[in-house]
Structure 1
Amino acid sequence: MRFVFPPSCPLCQADVEDHSGDSGRHPVTPMLCGKCLGDVLKPRGNRCRRCGLAVGPHVRSEHGCPMCVSQKFRFQQVIRFGLYDDSLRQACIRAKATTQFPLAAALANLLWLSEQFDLEAANVDLIAPVPCHWTRRMMRPHHAAETISRVLAGRLGKPLQRRLLRKKRLTSDQSDLPAAQRRLNLKDAFAIPWHSRSLAGKTVLLVDDILTTGTTANECTRTLLNAGAKQVVVAVIAVVP
């Protein structure tokens, strides 16, 4: 079947080498071609453990960097593949489209290959995507955060709880709001169904495609901690600088 329909790059559709038999790669996860991979790859560099932003080589960021130390983030750590700029920004935007499941999966694979050590060291018990409201799910059946979560769950061998978090009310688009209004917009917007409340002492890997101000991840984290989770680690494809 792959001879008739050879694998292609989910970003530019160029033919790519078939790595489905490689022991170090997930057999159902697509890969980018060499050119697109070169476009989105940047030197890993130093980053703040708490917010994921780039920092200087001598900055100690266990408890935050100059950009986030005053923020009341409840999550423990941000694990990210890159910064939301240039080619990675375009890839993340395209990965949100209804037909772009393969691209979202390919970006998740890059996150894993780049950050495997930190993802495994987080020692999470389960994985949950940041949810979207059901009305938006109807308009856009493919949810990038869920696709990324599925890939990471397969890589880590940890359970994926797709419906652990529920967005209980429709909110304005966060990108249209200033930081202060973003917090109000999402206040009490998330809930955990009663049948998913077995979180006592658990470490949760909360997954999204993009981290902007951290407001959404923080509100989801607050909900998880209030339900008994021990701590929350955030994993995203890109952080907005």
Structure 2
Amino acid sequence: MLIHPQIDPVALQLGPLSIHWYGLTYLVAFALFFLLALRRLKHPTYANLGWGRRDIEDLLFFGVLGIIIGGRLGYVLFYRPMEFLAEPLRIVAVWEGGLSFHGGFIGILLAMAWFAYRRRVNWLRVTDFIAPCIPIGLASGRIGNFINGELWGRVADPALPWGMVFRGAGDLPRHPSQLYQALLEGLLLFVLLWLYARGPRRLGEVSAAFLIGYGTFRFIAEFFREPDAHLGLLGLGLSLGQWLSLPMVLAGAALWGWAHRQPRSAV
């Protein structure tokens, strides 16, 4: 049985400025997106569009706004609506923590729609471009959750070699679900999508693969993650994260079906 290391959430203190590990993992995620997106520019589809470094910078800028605004609003609406309704000014207090992936995902979709409108390019062409660049950044964020000792897993069999006791979660060993998610939704999904997106694909296929892949891996990982204490398990014994992931899988399957009805000229 392992004990979660008590890591100071502050990585660096510069006078009154505190730089947190979790914030650094977000910076790593954004940097990785930028580097991977530069590699994606070499794909014939995007080379023919004439995209360059400036377009990647704009994608990243709009994406960061989408993540922060959408992630915060998603957390408020999905997880703690009544609490923030009572104190609406706390909605902007992002420094207190509280971001939802599914809310951030919606925010990114809206941000990419705005980018597509400004560039007069098909929205799915944009989402196909960014999809393979996202999972590795998600892995970085989950590593940040692990460093903070938050979002821990459900109680595990004491015989599990990597079962871990998290401070604040009692004395029983738990699944390090943050690492499960980093491996599934992050590393594995990245490898699969990156390899898949290298070939010629119909419009929307890569986006569909991301929706199906992330939704499936998140649904699986949630079986090992402790549900939010104030929510618990919902209908059919599923967590809120699982219920929010199901529409992603269904939307991905629908998009996949639509993409495969398109002519090859849409590649």
- Whether TM-score is above 0.5 comes out as no
Whose radius of gyration is greater, 1 or 2? 2
- The structure with the greater share of residues assigned to strand is 1
With the length of structure 1 as denominator, give the TM-score of the two structures: 0.31
* Greater RCO, 1 or 2 (C-alpha within 8 Å, sep 6+): 1
With the length of structure 2 as denominator, give the TM-score of the two structures: 0.29
- The structure with the greater share of residues assigned to helix is 2
